[in-house]
Structure formats: structure tokens, C-alpha cells
Structure 1
Amino acid sequence: MDKRTFTIAFLTIIVWSSGFAGIRASILGGFSSGHLVLLRFLVASVVFLIYAMLAKKRFHLPHKKDLLHIFALGFVGITLYHIFVTFGQQTVSAGTTSMIIGAAPIFTTLIAVFILKERMELFAWIGLGIGFIGIILITIGSSGAEFTISKGMYIVILAAISASFFFVFQKPLFVKYHPIQLTAYFTWAGTLPMLVFIPGLFENMQAATLEANIAAIYVGVFPAAICYATWAIALSMGNTASVMSMMYLEPAFAIIIAWFWLGEIPSILSMFGGLVAISSVAVVNMVGRKRREERVESG
């Protein structure tokens, strides 16, 4: 990965990481979860619409045969994922949420094995087992002295699973569409079902604090729209595996940002669990990369 690609990916991860604190700040400032997720993606949809108008020569409508695929992935990767994350953060801190989402590649690997029938070596399975232990530690560490797991924890885990399905099944479409173009389609398709939350949106915006409104617009413009675009640019410029490995930094930045922005400090057990889960993802990816290199050498 060259210096320019690294810089774009690194800055994207920092801003992306701030989204967890931004969502939490909006909720604490008076937004309901439904209204927040809708406002965020209405803003993101407008950003992509402006991009489409400015880049109309490079922006064409999707093929009819791809519409169902695009709408399905938009629903899973945008609608469900962001609804789960936003509703989950009613009771889960920004840092803890980021650690669980940071472990999403564990679920991605399982989907690839059981649905796409990809083979995986023993050490990769061991890595996944360690990852699940990490998630359990995060969950217990976030439950408090009573050891009661909040509903929000289950919802955030569902978000991680939704993201995993999204990442696995969007791959074939990148052959036909530019990543930014495809992200715009996913955003628009995923925003449509969120319109169910439109009743009372403007009243909620008026009742929420100024900070909550600014945070909601911020997470719509930057983490939900611009970061997806800059991430796609980084992926197009560098090696996919190298760029994706930058996502391991996201929980660390999210915890730091939430600490300064919201004063949230995860428990020691949760932070340790996050390190365990994220390190397991690194193990799984290193094993997979080593295997691919061996195949190239032997082929």
C-alpha cells in the first residue's frame, strides 16, 4: 500500500470511527432511534444525489437484472445494519458497539465457509473460536455487576451479521459498477424502507438539542456518505486485503473519540475482549492470505 492510499484509508477510518459517538450523541440529545437513522440516510442520499448529478457521464442506471440484488443488499447492508446499530446504541456504548462491529469479519468468514463453501484450515477455525470468546468477553464486560446482557448487545451483534452478509454478497456487482456508484445505489435502496420512520421526524428534530441535530447531520454527511466514497477510492488504489486490514484500527479510534466526545470509557474486560476479537480477525486473514500465496506458488 503506497503512502497516498494509506493516508486516504487512515483518515477514512478515523472519521468512520466517529460515527459511533455521533449516533450516541444524537440519541442522548433527544433523537429517537428511528428518526435518527432516517435523517442520517436522507442526508447521505442527498450527498450521493449531488455526486450523481456532478458525475453524470460516469454514472448510469443499474441494469434491470441487478435491481433485486441491489435492493436486497441495500436492505441488509444499509437498512438492517444501521437500524440495528442505532437501536442497539440506546443501551450500548459507542466504544463497545465499535468493538463488536470490528469483529464482523468473523461472521463474514463463517458465511463464506458455510454458504459459499470456501475451505478453511484448522488454524483459521481456532482464530474464529478465539474471536467468539472475545465477543463473549465484550458482552459480559458491558453487562455490569449484575451480568445481565442488554437487548442492545444482541441487536448490535445482529448488525455485525448483517454487515457480513453485505460484504460477502456485493462482490459480484463490483465487476459491473464503480464502487462509489454501487454504494450510492445501496444507500438509496436502503433508505427507502426507512421512510416508515418519517411520521414525527420534523417534530423530533425541533425537540432534540442543537448538538444532537448537528451530530445527526454530521454522521449523515461524513461516516454514512463521504467515508464510503473515500473508502471505495482507497480500495481501488491499493491491495484490497491491505486496505481492509486498516479496519482493525476502528474500535481503538472509536473508543478514544467516544471518551473525548461523550466521556464513555468501556470496562477493562470489554477492552480486553475487543483486543481478543480483533486479533482473531487478523489471524484468520493472515491464514487465508498465506494459503492464497501457497496456491499461487504451487500453481
Structure 2
Amino acid sequence: MTNSSDSGGRRDWPALAAAAVTAVLWASAFVSIRSAGSVYSPGSLALGRLLAGATVLGAISLLRRTGWPPRAAWPGIVCSGVLWFGGYMVMLNWGEREVDAGTAAMLVNIGPLLIALLGGRLLGEGLPGSLLVGMAVSFAGAVLVGISTSDTGRTSVSGVLLCLLAAVAYAVGVVAQKPALRHAGALPVTTFGCLIGAVACLPFAGTLVSEAAHAPLPATLNMVYLGVFPTALAFTTWAYALSRTSAGRMGATTYVVPALVVLLSWLLLDEVPAPLTLVGGALCLAGVAAGRRRPRPGPPPTLRTGAGAEAGPGLVVPRR
């Protein structure tokens, strides 16, 4: 698979557009979770969301006849399905009941840093200086957003640990998904990852049925929305973009989500952000821009072949 976003320093605009769709939909998920999460328990909300997503993805896969992924892709699909689609969603939903949303956002945003470290170590992606600087700036912005929206009265050790575990599950799942995308397309990797995540959450099936029977319609519709758009669509566009760039850079891109959450909350919920929140959101955006910037290629190397002599690019100098 050609990584067109990295070749010759050219911009891969379809991948950037896919990453933007993912960021906007993941930011919108926070608004829907506020409604559904007040009615559905963490496990049942994750299962309902994954079932809705797997249904949509399965129907699209059948229509497009994508077939089964090759054997080489399955280790990454299974790992990302269990840890990211399943474990991450349950632990995050659960953790946000124990700590406030601002604290949860700060803790979960450790995930992109872990992705960069694991990607550099396990996938051989390296750690470019621009990426490290951009992630540091974005993480500082996420911390400011979290501080400005946190409620110190809602913090527990168990909630902090759950959010940290969610960040680890997210990072490991993303790094595991990257090799799978070398052998299969974004649609099958996402479809089967979502299905495996739903299977892993089946122990919550009884609770989901019980809660759905008494849940108000808006909460259930929000759960379905979470499955169709922030899961089925956004995870597919994420996988497409991830297949065309490094895991570290894709992880850094998610730092735009806190800034988008602030904007959406302002527009849709009439929650006027505090000045510190606006500063944090601006830092998130600036860090993402810096992290995705690629260094300009330097001049081609020259070859010295004697006293003061140089060979230009493409010139073969015979040995003396």
C-alpha cells in the first residue's frame, strides 16, 4: 500500500478530509452521550452503540461484497476490536460517571501520546520533532480545556484509573489496527472490528434490553446516532486516513476534538465557554497544525570526488 501522504511531502487531501470527518463526528458524540449516558449504563450504551454500528457496516459490506479480510489482517482486527471498540467505550463510559467530563478529557488525551510512542517503537514510525512539539502544545491545550470545565467535587480514584485504562486501550488498539490496514481495506477492518467489539460486550445484553424497554425515545435515538455516525462512519474514515499516514500523526489529529467539543457545546447547547477554555481550544488547533506539518526536503546531497570536485544528483562517478 502506497502511503501517498508521506511521499514527496505531498498532501493527501482525501485522507485529510477523512480525518476531518472523524474529528467532527467524534466531537458530536460527546453531546449525544450526555443524553444517552444519563439513561443507559456504561456497558449497555457501548453494546447498543456497537450493535447499531455493526448493523450499518455489515449492510454496506454485503452490498459492496467486500468479503472476509485475509488471515494476516485478523490479529490487528481482533486486538483493535476487543480493546478499542469494546474495552475503550465501556471504560470511558464508566469512568465519566466517576469523574467529571473535563478530567476525563484530560486523562483520555494521554492516548495520542501513547500512540506516538508505541508507533515509533513498534511500527518504526520514528518520532519527528514537529510531531512531538505539536503534541505537547495540543496536550497543554487539552489540559486547559479540562481544567476550565472540571468539577473537583466529582473525582474518584476508580474513575481516574478507568479513564487511564481507556487511554491505554485506545492507544494499543490504534497501533494494532495500523498493520491490519496493510492487508485489508478500511471498510472490512472497521466492520469486523466493530462486530468483535459488540461480541466482547455481549455480557451487557440483558441490561441493554431491560434499559431499552424503559428508556425515553431521545436517549435511544442518541444511542443509535452514536452507532451510525461517530462509530460506523467516523471509524471507517479514521481507518481510511490511518492507512495513508502514520499512527502518531493520526493520533495527534484527534487533539482537534476538544476544540470542536467546545464549539459544538457553544452552538448546540448554549454553553458559553470560559476564556481559559477558548485558549485551550486554540492551543489544541495550533498543536495539530504543527504536528501535521512536514519538514521541507533539503537539497539533494552532493558527492565529493577529489580536491574540490563535486558530483551532482544522478551523476555516477567511476571509481579511480
Q: TM-score, normalised by structure 1?
A: 0.76
The Cα RMSD (Å) is: 3.8
Are residues 1:41 and 2:50 paired?
yes
Residues 218-229 of structure 1: pairs in structure 2 closer than 5 A:
218-229=225-236
Tell me the residue number matched to 1:81. 88
Q: What do the CA deviations read for 1:14-51 (whole angstroms, capped 9, x no partner)?
A: 233211111121012x1111111110101111111101
Task: Give the direction of change, closer, same or farther, for the CA distance of 1:201–1:108 in structure 2 (3 Å limit).
Answer: same
Residue number among 169, 174, 183 corresponding to 1:176 in the alignment: 183
Q: Distance in 2 between matches of 1:67 and 1:252?
A: 35
Are residues 1:160 and 2:170 paired?
no
Residue number among 176, 195, 200 corresponding to 1:193 in the alignment: 200
Q: What do the CA deviations read for 1:138-182 (whole angstroms, capped 9, x no partner)?
A: 554444356956754543343333222222222222221011111
Are residues 1:31 and 2:40 paired?
yes
Q: Check conservation: 2:68, 2:188, Cα contact below 8 A.
A: no
Displacement of 1:9:
4.9
Tell me the residue number matched to 1:51. 60
Are residues 1:216 and 2:223 paired?
yes
Displacement of 1:248:
4.3
Residue number among 180, 205, 228 corresponding to 2:212 in the alignment: 205
Task: Give the direction of change, closer, same or farther, for the CA distance of 1:143–1:251 in structure 2 (3 Å limit).
Answer: closer
Q: Check conservation: 1:8, 1:234, Cα contact below 8 A.
A: yes
Q: Check conservation: 1:20, 1:94, Cα contact below 8 A.
A: no
Q: Check conservation: 1:106, 1:131, Cα contact below 8 A.
A: no
Displacement of 1:256:
2.6
Task: Give the direction of change, closer, same or farther, for the CA distance of 1:127–1:97 in structure 2 (3 Å limit).
Answer: same
Q: Distance in 2 between matches of 1:179 and 1:135?
A: 29
Determine helix, strand or coil for the equivalent of 2:295. Answer: helix
Task: Give the direction of change, closer, same or farther, for the CA distance of 1:271–1:98 in structure 2 (3 Å limit).
Answer: farther
Which has the higher Rg, Structure 1 or Structure 2? 2
Are residues 1:290 and 2:295 paired?
yes
Task: Give the direction of change, closer, same or farther, for the CA distance of 1:266–1:93 in structure 2 (3 Å limit).
Answer: farther
Aligned residues: 289
Q: Return the structure number with greater relative CO, CA threshold 8 A, min gap 6.
A: 1
Bigger mean CA offset, 210-219 vs 273-282: 273-282
Residues 11-160 of structure 1: pairs in structure 2 closer than 5 A:
11-28=21-38, 30-56=39-65, 59-91=66-98, 101=108, 104-116=111-123, 119-120=126-127, 133-134=140-141, 136-144=143-151, 148=155, 151-160=158-167
Displacement of 1:220:
0.8
Runs of 4+ in 1 over 6 A off after TM superposition: 2-5
Same amino acid, percent of matched pairs:
28
Determine helix, strand or coil for the equivalent of 2:97. Answer: coil
Q: Which amino acid aligns with 1:211?
A: P
Displacement of 1:260:
4.5
Q: Distance in 2 between matches of 1:267 and 1:235?
A: 34
Bigger mean CA offset, 141-150 vs 68-77: 141-150
Q: Which amino acid aligns with 1:183?
A: T
Task: Give the direction of change, closer, same or farther, for the CA distance of 1:90–1:268 in structure 2 (3 Å limit).
Answer: farther
Q: Distance in 1 between matches of 2:123 and 2:19?
A: 28
Tell me the residue number matched to 2:7. none
Q: Which amino acid aligns with 1:24?
A: R
Q: Distance in 1 between matches of 2:175 and 2:70?
A: 20
Q: Distance in 1 between matches of 2:87 and 2:162?
A: 10
Displacement of 1:186:
0.9
Q: TM-score, normalised by structure 2?
A: 0.72
